[in-house]
Structures are given as C-alpha cells and as structure tokens.
Amino acid sequence: MKFLKPYVNVAIPAPLFKMFEAVLELFVPLVMKEIIDIGIENNDKTYILQHGLILVGLAAAGLIMSVTAQFFAAKTAVGFSKDLKSSLFRHIQTLSFSELDTVGNATLINRMTADSDKLQTGINMTLRLFLRSPFIVFGAAIMAFTIDKKSALFFCVAIPLLSIVVFGIMLGTVPLYKKVQAALDKSLLTAGENLDGLRVIRAFNMQKKEEKRFKEETEDYASKAIFSSKVSSLLNPITFIIVNAALIAILYNGSAEVNTGDLTKGELIAIVNYMSQILVELIKLADLIILLTKSLASANRISEVFEIGEKR
C-alpha cells in the first residue's frame, strides 16, 4: 500500500469523474421516457429533436468524464507499478544466494513481471469501476422506484440474488488462482533449470526425462488454469439468467399496467433501461471482482518476497 501513497492526489479524481458519468447515465432513461410519452405520443417533432439533443449532450459530457477518469486511473496505476517493480528489483539484489536458491529465480521473475502487471491492471480497473458500478446498480433501482414501485420490486429480488452469485464465485476462485500461480512458478522453474543445465542434461542423456517432467508440469498448470476459468466463467451466464428473468417479469407486469393506464409506455421503457444498466454494470463488477481476486493473490506473492529480507 505504501507505493500508492504518492499517487493519492492523482487517484482520487478518477472515481469521482466516473461517478459524475454515472449520474449522467441515470438521466438518459428519464429523457427517453419524455420523448416516448410526450414527443412520440403527440407527434411533436420539435420536442423529439430538442430532447434528442439533450441525449447527445449527456453522451458528450459522459465521454469527457470517462476520458478524464481514465487519464487519472492510468497515471496512478502505471506510476504505482513503476515504483513497485523498481523497489522489488532493488530488494531482490540484496538477497543472499541461499535465499535466492530457496525462493527460486523463476518465481522471482514471475512475481516481478506477471504479478506486478496484474496489480497494475487491478488498480486501474478498481479506480474506474469500484464506485461507478455499485452507484449505477443502486441508483438505477432507486430511479425505478420513483417511476413505478410495483415494477421496481423486481429489482429488490434480482439485486440480492446477483450479489450472492457474484461474491459466492469470488470466494470460490481466490484459492484456485493461488494454485494456478504456484503451478506456473513450478513450470517456469523447470524451464530455467533446463536452460541453465543444458550441457549437463545432454552429457547424461536426460533429455527425454526432462521433457516428460516439463510436459507434466505444464499440463498440471493448464488443467488448474482451465478449471479456475470454468468456475469464474459461470458468473456471466448466471448473471444474464437472473437479470433477463427479472426483465421478463417487469415486462409481464408492466404490460398489464400499461393496458390499465397505471403505467405509460415511456415509463415501462425507462424501467427496462434501468434493469439493462444494472445488467451491464453487474457484469463489469463481476469481471472487476475476478480481476481483484487475481490482483490480491499477486499482491500476497509480492509481499512474500519483500518479507524475505525482513526476516534476516
């Protein structure tokens, strides 16, 4: 965490600008509602054009907010990664030969490159989505209640179900990612040993044995990586099923209310748009959580290297 402290002032604007963008997005379905219920219903082309320009303005303002947030998020993540890698490299140079042999060159290289890159990506995406996605999810639910309380009750069922699925899969994948990284370290260590001892292996005619060992380790890594990916890939289809089931229920209930005059066509479209926004943001949030679990596993692996010097 100490590597993030110098970039706190740069990091704070990123989620704030994403919040502003999210607020603008929440107004889009309301503008669409007005276009349908007033402009299209009364065949008022001037009204439609005016509100169409408002939608364009909201989109342009949202784009500016998004680009600005991305600038600050990228600056923070890349600066953090630069300082972390530099410090980690300097720390590795201070390790004794016995400590280097204990840890292994392959795992040190992997932690200084792949693990550091995962952390950089995790920080970048966290700054962009950590506040935005939950704000859109709960904001869309609240806005739906202001339009029609009966239809919005489906949000109260869908959101807790989605939260259970997201966090359940997250808790299940954290230990799996640790096993994947450990298997990758093992295969990289074998590759490094073969490169360093190439002449010895040839001298004792051990090529076939080493090829078999490397193949077994890479297959073990592949099987663990595929299994963890299968578990995490369940997230999107389950999310789609729950949200689309909620959409069907909203349309079924809303169509009856439209027929009785309790709900206008524009209001129904707005509620459907809010549910669609929730779907998109939850998929983003789910991907972010999976990325965060990988980043946290990488952070622990990097911390272990820093702790080696502290034990001396």
Find the mean pLDDT for residues 7-25: 91
Residue 192 has pLDDT above 80, yes or no: no
* Range name among 62-66, 131-135, 266-270, 279-283 with the lowest pLDDT average: 279-283
What per-residue confidence (pLDDT) applies to 312? Answer: 56
- Percent of all residues in the chain with a pLDDT value above 90, rounded to a whole number: 25
Task: Give me the architecture of the 5-311 domain, per CATH.
Answer: Up-down Bundle (1.20)
Domains in the chain: boundaries: 5-311
Residues in CB range of 229: below 8 A, 6 or more apart: none
Residues in CB range of 172: below 8 A, 6 or more apart: 231
Name the token pair of 90: 């300097």
Assign 181 a pLDDT band (cuts: 50, 70, 90).
confident
Contact in structure between 34 and 150 (CB atoms under 8 Å): no
- Percent of all residues in the chain with a pLDDT value above 70, rounded to a whole number: 98
Contact in structure between 34 and 266 (CB atoms under 8 Å): yes
What per-residue confidence (pLDDT) applies to 11? Answer: 92
Scanning the structure block, which residue is given the tokens 């110098």?
A: 6
For all residues of the chain together, what is the average pLDDT? 85
Name the token pair of 10: 């740069």
Burial class (CB in 10 A: 0-12, 13-18, 19+), 150: middle
Scanning the structure block, which residue is given the tokens 């392959």?
A: 106
Quote the pTM value: 0.73
215: closest CA among 197, 193, 190, 181?
190
Assign 68 a pLDDT band (cuts: 50, 70, 90).
very high
